[in-house]
Amino acid sequence: MCDGRYVGHLVDARRIQRLDLTGDGACTERPDALAVEEPLTLRVDSVVVTTTMRTPGHDLDLALGWLVAEGCVRHPGDVLTAIACDANTVDVSLGAGVAPPRPRLTMTSSACGVCGSDAVEDVLMRTSRPSADEVVTLDARVMATLPDALRAAQPAFGRTGVLHAAGLFTTAGEPVCVREDVGRHNAVDKVFGWALREDLLPASTYILQVSGRASFELTQKAVLAGVAALSAVSAPSTLAVDVARASGLVLTGFVRGSTMNVYSGGERVHLAPPT
Amino acid sequence: MCDGRYVGHLVDARRIQRLDLTGDGACTERPDALAVEEPLTLRVDSVVVTTTMRTPGHDLDLALGWLVAEGCVRHPGDVLTAIACDANTVDVSLGAGVAPPRPRLTMTSSACGVCGSDAVEDVLMRTSRPSADEVVTLDARVMATLPDALRAAQPAFGRTGVLHAAGLFTTAGEPVCVREDVGRHNAVDKVFGWALREDLLPASTYILQVSGRASFELTQKAVLAGVAALSAVSAPSTLAVDVARASGLVLTGFVRGSTMNVYSGGERVHLAPPT
């Protein structure tokens, strides 16, 4: 039923800056292992039914499992063939009498075979890099305070343990809008919807702090809203770093005690001695 | 531009069972505060462009922020009106000359106004409850070992800190398939795609353990694959609990030391004295 080919890898390296904020501070460059994120397009009987961002590997199982969750297939015989026709596309042929799923999602205008660089290109086409006078520099010691500041401003998290948060902060570290949601992308949308109403877009003098990880989707939203920086509590994916670098977005994360990682835009993150 | 109505609430209560595994064990019932999850449909100039699961509240900002991230609007004047026409639908009218976004996602067959119980109903229509001879009982002490067993089987997480995992376990706590991905739903799809190929569906004698939280989407996937139980490291949303209860799925979570929560199917989770 499937060709057993295992395509892809879970982890890839990007060169990052690691800041140590103790004393006068120090910055070292080093390679960092990041989770790979790339788009996968699923075609069923030649029709594109979904494109999803995923970590490559077990792509045929990903396609089949998606069809299970749609209620489309239940037994091995429901699937005639499942073939990885390139690194980013799986073709499934259903058995006779198996109804195809409804198409679910159209990520970009490409019909199929979208790869990570297409996804980055798609973001660049929908936005413009900040002009020279919009570019701000950021204080690493302020950036390091934002994860705690976000948690402090998150009223419901303590009660449920399940809500993601996103907060817009000034470059001095003051929160101006904090929102919570079960979906991390929704929390970010709620912040930027507020910013639109306040006529703050492009929000080129603000920092977006998010709980959890930085995916391509969240980074794309930060780029489209034009913030100076995206700061994540945890790590970004490869594609989040790639789109941040292509867009001129500062991307930081993994603030742990006195250390933090700068994945993109390091030249705009200053590490001054403590005042 | 917007009516400022704030609809919705972040947190709602469900009655759950709390198991204490110390000594002979104890089970107490109590209300638990859960993050609310409900669908929101966005219509732009009368066309449905997306339906997303979200935590109610700031719905107009959610709709506007989504349009910002699509590259559709940038200034307050780009939006003529944004109105919450019911608890689960936002209607946006764009200003003259503003191009509408491409529709992105069709969650269910309903055109608009989907509510949480519709979403649950939609799942029930695509599956069948397990028959009496498929129903297995589960050992709470085994369930409590699964989060650690999943982490132990997750090779890449330690290196990236960003990959979600999903694992299929026997009722004796043995892992049979563990997958990692930047997207939690992808990790689950990869597991159930494997199970389809192995002809294990409905997987009525298996437990799905996931890292992180249990959303409606993940719970729906567990129901469609027919597993006996879904166990989450962290908390479920209200709608995850609701769909688990309606489907006869055991839902557990928040294993912390010697305590765990049972959100659904408590009559099938046995707490025997330690052997």
**Interface touch A106/B106, C-beta < 8 Å:** no
- How much is the mean pLDDT over chain A? 88
Number of A–B residue contacts, CB under 8 Å: 252
**Per residue in A144-194, pLDDT tens?**
999 999 999 887 666 666 789 999 999 999 999 999 998 899 999 999 999
Reference A268, options A122, A143, A107; nearest CA is A143
Partner residue opposite B35 with nearest CB, options A76, A163, A190: A163
**Interface touch B197/A73, C-beta < 8 Å:** no
Reference B65, options B142, B2, B152; nearest CA is B2
**pLDDT for the residue B9:** 75
Residue A8 has pLDDT above 90, yes or no: no
One pLDDT digit (tens) per residue for chain B, 275 residues: 444 344 457 888 999 999 999 988 899 999 998 989 999 999 999 998 988 899 998 999 999 999 998 889 999 999 999 999 888 899 999 999 999 998 876 554 344 457 888 888 888 888 877 777 778 999 999 999 999 999 998 876 666 667 899 999 999 999 999 999 988 999 999 999 999 999 999 999 999 999 989 999 999 999 999 999 999 999 999 999 999 999 999 999 998 888 999 999 999 999 887 76
Q: Are A174 and A150 in contact (CB under 8 A)?
A: no
**Range with the largest mean pLDDT of A3-12, A120-129, B144-153:** B144-153
Catalytic residues of A: 112
Q: Write the DSSP assignment of chain B as a string of letters.
A: -B-------SEEEEEEEEEE-STT-EEEEEEEEEE--EEEEEEETTEEEEEEEE-SSSHHHHHHHHHHHTTS--SGGGEEEEEEEETTEEEEEEPTTPPPPPP-B--SS--S---HHHHHHHHHHT--PPPGGG---EEHHHHTTHHHHHHHT-TTHHHHS--EEEEEEETTS-EEEEEEESSHHHHHHHHHHHHHHTT--S-TTEEEEESS-B-HHHHHHHHHHT-SEEEESSPBBHHHHHHHHHHT-EEEEEEETTEEEEEE-GGGEE-PPP-
Residue of B nearest to A158 (CA): B33
**pLDDT for the residue B14:** 92
**pLDDT for the residue B131:** 75
**pLDDT for the residue B107:** 54
pTM: 0.89
**pLDDT for the residue A275:** 67
Report ipTM for this prediction: 0.87
CB-CB neighbours of B13 under 10 Å = 11
**Interface touch B71/A126, C-beta < 8 Å:** yes
Residue of A nearest to B80 (CA): A197
**pLDDT for the residue A111:** 44
Residues in A 148-207 with any Cβ partner in B closer than 8 A: 155-156, 159-163, 179-183, 185-186, 188-197, 199, 201-202
Report how far residue A260's alpha carbon sits from residue B8's, in angstroms, rounded to the nearest whole number.
36
**pLDDT for the residue B67:** 94
Report how far residue B23's alpha carbon sits from residue B267's, in angstroms, rounded to the nearest whole number.
20
Catalytic residues of B: 112
Residues in A 205-264 with any Cβ partner in B closer than 8 A: 213, 215, 220-221, 224-225, 234-237, 254
**Per residue in A224-250, pLDDT tens?**
999 999 999 999 999 999 999 999 999
Report how far residue B169's alpha carbon sits from residue B166's, in angstroms, rounded to the nearest whole number.
10
Residue of B nearest to A235 (CA): B162
Residue of B nearest to A162 (CA): B235
Q: Which DSSP letter does residue A36 get? A: -
Q: Are B181 and A54 in contact (CB under 8 A)?
A: yes
**Interface touch B62/A186, C-beta < 8 Å:** yes
Residue A84 has pLDDT above 70, yes or no: yes
**Interface touch B35/A194, C-beta < 8 Å:** no
The predicted model gives A90-97 an average pLDDT of 95
